[in-house]
Amino acid sequence: MNYKNFTRRKVLQIAALALSLSGLGLQAQSYPNSKPVKIIVPFAPGGTTDILARLIGKHLQERLGVPVNMENRTGAGGSIGADTVAKSIPDGHTLVMGSIGTHATNSLIYPKMPYDSVSDFAPIAMAGSATLVLVVHPSLGVNTVNGLIDLLRNKPNIYSYASGGVAASQHLAGELFKYATGVSMQHIAYKGSAGALTDLLSGRVPIMFADLPLVLPHIQSGALRALAVADPEPSPALPGIPTVSQSGVPGYVASAWYALFAPAKTPGPVLVRLQTEVVDILKLPELRKVMLDQGVRPGNIYGEELRKFQENEISRWRASIKAANIQTE
């Protein structure tokens, strides 16, 4: 190496880089700095987003050795909670359990977004994806998808369907169903799936494309009737229940996914620590059994692969949302 070519400026640059790398190393070694970690759930308690955050948070707390607390911060289809994290200090102590809405489709539906779904976050890991199941209240008097389609065609705009919020997966699934079948029904958005479930069980809003973990016990008890699942294949958790595509709506597929994100610019070593822990947590047999029994497939992508998945989801839904004319209300 020719040391004669080293100017004072270059020496300072190298020193700054060394200090930066040293700082990152210290951050990784000291994280989580004896400080609690907070996971913001951008929807109300009781929904799948909340359930997954608490399941993973419990194990993350054991592994990090500090409290991992949950905070439900609702509004604007989850955008308020997600924006809180986007604007938080990027030190790994404030995370968000995001969804297809908060980290993909909200940007296609809301005219103004307070954050960029991709660039304002550092992806940690996919938590899982849940089967969406088309359920109705028994009082509706239909037993099949075709029966529901006939009812909605004969009585347009008389019936309503529930969702966990504008741009939530349940909303997208309902609007795509309307577009694919030509039926009419009103959309009722709630501040989370748990609130929608209350009115669904009462029959006040008799139709919903619901996350399977949310409604499985009520299907089993007979309080709700499952007509079809929105996955490409039938669900093992619902033997005998066909897919929407098999039920006369060819090619229909809709899904719900959930992933953990940190603010952008979170130090690389901190992200690696979080990714490693969450990926290991999702491999735990007892956790996988709980998730699979509830109709949630554990996630298996993280980091930049998750970012690419996000970008693909935004591209995939853009044409569908435009064709179905899905808008904020």
Give mean pLDDT in consecutive 10-residue pieces for the chain, a chain of 329 residues: 41 39 51 94 91 96 97 93 98 97 93 95 96 97 98 96 89 93 94 90 97 94 98 92 96 93 97 97 96 89 96 89 77
Give the separation between CA 113 and CA 96, rounded to whole angstroms: 17
φ/ψ of residue 149, rounded to 5 = -60, -45
Q: Are 102 and 261 in contact (CB under 8 A)?
A: no
Query: What is the structure's pLDDT at 122?
Result: 98
Could you tell me where the DSSP H helices lie in the chain?
Answer: 8-30, 48-64, 79-86, 106-109, 145-154, 169-181, 193-202, 212-221, 268-281, 285-293, 303-324
H or E stretch including 102? none
Task: Please report, for residues 70, 85, 202, 313, 325, the alpha-carbon distance to residue 88 in angstroms, rounded to integers and kept in the order given.
Answer: 15, 5, 39, 25, 34
Q: Are 180 and 249 in contact (CB under 8 A)?
A: yes
CA dihedral in degrees (18, 21, 25, 30; nearest 10)?
90
Give the separation between CA 76 and CA 80, rounded to whole angstroms: 6
Q: Are 164 and 190 in contact (CB under 8 A)?
A: yes
Q: Are 186 and 161 in contact (CB under 8 A)?
A: yes
3-state secondary structure 301-328: CEHHHHHHHHHHHHHHHHHHHHHHCCCC
Query: What is the structure's pLDDT at 165?
Result: 84
Query: What is the structure's pLDDT at 1?
Result: 41
Q: At what angle do helices 268-281 and 8-30 cross, to 10 degrees?
A: 30
Query: What is the structure's pLDDT at 7?
Result: 44
Give the separation between CA 125 and CA 144, rounded to whole angstroms: 37
* Cβ atoms within 10 Å of 292's Cβ, excluding its own: 14
Q: Are 236 and 260 in contact (CB under 8 A)?
A: no
Query: What is the structure's pLDDT at 250?
Result: 95
Sign of CA dihedral 150, 153, 157, 158: negative
Predicted TM-score (pTM) of the model is 0.81
* Cβ atoms within 10 Å of 116's Cβ, excluding its own: 11
Nearest to 232 by CA among 252, 214, 215: 252
H or E stretch including 165? none
Residue ranges of domains in the chain, CATH in brackets: 35-129+256-324 (3.40.190.150), 132-247 (3.40.190.10)
